Amino acid sequence: MSEIQPLKIGFDAKRLFLNDTGLGNYSRTLVKNMMKLYPQHEYHLFTPSIRETSETQIFLNGDCHIHTPGKFEIKAVWRSRGMSKTINAMKLDVYHGLSHELPSGISTATRTVVSMHDLIYEIYPQFFPWYNRWVYRWKYKTSCKKANHVIAISEATRKDLISRYHLDEKQVSVVYQSCGDYFKPRQRSKQKKHFLYVGTIEERKGLLNAVHAYAQLPKEFQIPFLVVGSGSTYAEEVKKAIQYYDIEKQFQFLGKLKNEEIADLYHDALALILPSVYEGFGIPIAESLFTGTPVITSPFSALPEAAGPGGILVDPSHHEALAESMKQMFIPEKWQKLSDEGSMYVHTHFTAQATAAQLNGLYQKLKDY
């Protein structure tokens, strides 16, 4: 094994400190795993502001260097241009933009990496205002073009990037996400208590289709259905459908929860239901499988990659088929097979050790380039 060269690595830490879910979880997990498994590196976090929580405390204990704007600097300007001065002055070996963006003005002496999570606004433009689409396209495409290397969080996202942004295939690598330490197997209760949905309540993620399918289940299969996440207009549409089917008592909307609380719900769930039409990866699927709970999801975008053999894939617009998939989860032999194979799959592909090793290898290669 070749010796690991100590590096000075910078990360865009805005989401790490300021986002509770999604990109925030991705950033915290990635940086924490790198710090733990490769302590020989020097880590620098760049953020417009700091929010101290139980999830961010580990980054505030002195094991990494945190950089924020000066007292009289405008945060947005600092993030797009100003922090490049610090990056150049520090002579970082690698700078990694964790959420689609790179600042302008980074010296060519610092190798740059950008993580791209999805191109939802390109695939489903109807879900985004025209101005947002224009901004995203300009920012994301510019970052991909100027980065020394692009990380896609799934093979599906990699294919989208290459086909839509015309990137060199050699410039784009897949590095899957890992999950937080909360999501791991433990002793389960014999009685699986509920179906579970985790994610923003928005049209793309298809909770309404799950409601239509659930309503077709015989009464004996209508166990509680717990919904974790928030939403607005679409959430109200979902609740109206629940009321129409007279199944309000079975559905519980829990809002946003902490990761440890969500992990408890995975453990006691019969299945995670994620009937989305598009995901850049689908981290709730990996979280669920890490706890041993199978999933029902769609055959679109990156979802088959995330689920592997631990999921039943069904077109969510086919409500009868989706309902039949829910019924299959009540068959002990079927459930156990999905649980065992899904657990083996994620422990092979999505571990902290595997993802951190890929990242470290990429950083080392870029430094020597």
Q: What is the reported pLDDT for 188? A: 65
Gyration radius of the chain's alpha carbons: 21
Q: Largest Cα–Cα distance in the chain? A: 66
Model confidence at 216: pLDDT above 90:
yes
Over residues 215-228, the mean pLDDT reads 97
Q: What is the reported pLDDT for 189? A: 63
Q: What is the reported pLDDT for 45? A: 97
Model confidence at 42: pLDDT above 60:
yes
Q: How confident is the model at residue 77 (pLDDT cuts 50, 70, 90)?
A: confident
Model confidence at 1: pLDDT above 60:
no
| Domains of the chain and CATH, by start | 8-178+350-364 (3.40.50.2000), 194-348 (3.40.50.2000)
- Reported as a single tens digit per residue, the pLDDT across 324-358 is 999 999 999 999 999 999 999 999 999 999 999 99
- Reported as a single tens digit per residue, the pLDDT across 222-239 is 999 999 999 889 999 999
Q: What is the reported pLDDT for 191? A: 67
Percent of the chain predicted with pLDDT > 70: 98
User: CA–CA separation, 211 vs 239, rounded Å?
Assistant: 9
Q: Give the three-state DSSP class for 342.
A: helix
- Reported as a single tens digit per residue, the pLDDT across 253-273 is 999 999 999 999 999 999 999
Model confidence at 40: pLDDT above 70:
yes
User: CA–CA separation, 113 vs 115, rounded Å?
Assistant: 7
Of 42-56, 119-133, 177-191, least confident by mean pLDDT is 177-191
Could you give the angle at which helices 233-244 and 207-215 cross, rounded to 10 degrees?
0
Which whole-number Å values give the CA distances from 13 to 103, 204, 329, in the listed order?
Answer: 13, 27, 40
Of 77-91, 226-240, 259-273, 286-300, least confident by mean pLDDT is 77-91
Residue 96 C-alpha from the chain's centroid: 17
Q: How confident is the model at residue 79 (pLDDT cuts 50, 70, 90)?
A: confident
| Mean of pLDDT over the chain | 94
Q: Is 165 in contact with 186 (CB distance < 8 Å)?
A: no
- Enumerate helices (H) and strands (E) in the chain, giving the number of each: 15, 13
Q: How confident is the model at residue 143 (pLDDT cuts 50, 70, 90)?
A: very high
Over residues 21-34, the mean pLDDT reads 94
Of 175-179, 229-233, 294-298, least confident by mean pLDDT is 229-233
Q: Give the three-state DSSP class for 148.
A: coil
User: CA–CA separation, 157 vs 180, rounded Å?
Assistant: 22
Q: What is the reported pLDDT for 185? A: 77
